[in-house]
């Protein structure tokens, strides 16, 4: 039989791990070629660099939002599981 274990602690740990690894991506910087020297294609590079940075920031916001939702879901599942276990144990005690 397969057992699924859910807890707020494990959900929080997973969320923290994902956010930590994502922050490593957010800490890089792209050089802006137009500030260094006029280069053919430099403006296209700079525009793309800005788009990548904006996309990573949006991804970070999404991960943070989803991480909180996962933690809240884990708390709810854990609470329901405890209530169900309590009712089953309570029913078993009255049968004996």
Nearest Cα residue to 8 out of 54, 69, 60, 93: 69
pLDDT tens-digit profile of 25-58? 777 777 776 777 777 888 888 888 888 888 888 9
Q: Is 33 exposed, middle or buried (0-12, 13-18, 19+ CB in 10 A)?
A: middle
Question: What per-residue confidence (pLDDT) applies to 89?
Answer: 78
pLDDT tens-digit profile of 55-74? 888 988 888 888 888 888 88
Other C-beta atoms lying within 10 Å of the C-beta of residue 56: 14
Assigned token pair, 58: 């949006």
Question: What per-residue confidence (pLDDT) applies to 1?
Answer: 53
Question: What per-residue confidence (pLDDT) applies to 92?
Answer: 55
Residue 2: band (very low, low, confident or very high) from pLDDT cuts 50, 70, 90: low
Question: What per-residue confidence (pLDDT) applies to 15?
Answer: 79
Assigned token pair, 79: 């609470």
């Amino acid at each position: 039989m397969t057992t699924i274990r859910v807890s707020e602690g494990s959900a929080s740990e997973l969320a923290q791990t994902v956010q930590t690894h994502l922050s490593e991506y957010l800490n890089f910087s792209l050089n802006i070629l137009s500030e260094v020297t006029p280069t053919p294609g430099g403006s296209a590079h700079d525009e793309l660099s800005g788009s990548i940075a904006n996309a990573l920031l949006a991804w970070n916001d999404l991960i943070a939002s989803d991480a909180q939702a996962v933690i809240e879901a884990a708390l709810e599942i854990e609470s329901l599981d405890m209530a169900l276990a309590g009712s089953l144990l309570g029913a078993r005690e009255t049968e004996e």
